[in-house]
Amino acid sequence: MHNLAARTEGNKAYSDPANRDAHLTATGIAQAKEAGVTIKRLFPKATALWCSPLTRCIQTAMNIMDSVEVPADGLYLHDNLLERQRRSNVCNYRAELKDIKNSWPQFNTDFVPDISAHWQGEEKGHVVKLRMTMLLEHLKRVYAEAKDPVIIVCHQESLFEVLGVELNNAEYVISSL
């Protein structure tokens, strides 16, 4: 719904409360499944999967996991993987923690506070880069000895800030940390 609404309604779609924490469309689900199949060809197993707590990212992760084997104790949600926050973009406001836990009980939510700090206002690019870099450095240390890759499901702007790679909707990058 996120990108579909933007294409049909323009930028006002991002501030429409009806698009808050948007779900994947049928096209988005198909794209996520295709990504899972492609990733499986390269990496049939993953050590862990870290994901933004926005619904569309969790749905993407679930569709990737239809193809890629991820241990049940390796599924994490983290607020640092949220989309860059802009005050008017309610589509990037995540659900409350209790609702996330009820909807996605298979994910560890220790890194998702009751109230997202990212909702507090406008984020500058360097702030997104800092929060993403801190998380990626942590993951590098935690998984330094891992044999299988770690999958990270997040948003284009967040990835751009740390990797410098511009992605369009439904594109992904495979990178070493």
What is residue 147's predicted lDDT score, i.e. its pLDDT?
A: 94
34 vs 44: CA distance, rounded Å: 14
Q: Residue ranges of the chain with pLDDT lower than 70?
A: 1-15, 86-91, 117-121, 177
Look-up of token digits 């005050």: 87
What is residue 2's predicted lDDT score, i.e. its pLDDT?
A: 46
Predicted confidence (pLDDT) per residue in 136-145, tens digit: 999 999 999 9
What is residue 38's predicted lDDT score, i.e. its pLDDT?
A: 93
120 vs 123: CA distance, rounded Å: 9
What is residue 159's predicted lDDT score, i.e. its pLDDT?
A: 84
Q: Where are the domains of the chain?
A: 2-163
Stated as kind and residue range, the H or E segment containing 80 is none
Question: Amino acid identity, residue 167?
Answer: L
Residue 146, beta-bridge partner list: none
Sequence-ordered strand ranges (E) for 22-147: 48-51, 75-78, 108-111
DSSP code for 150: E
63 vs 138: CA distance, rounded Å: 26
Q: Does domain 2-163 have CATH number 3.40.50.1240?
A: yes
**Token couple for 2:** 């996120």
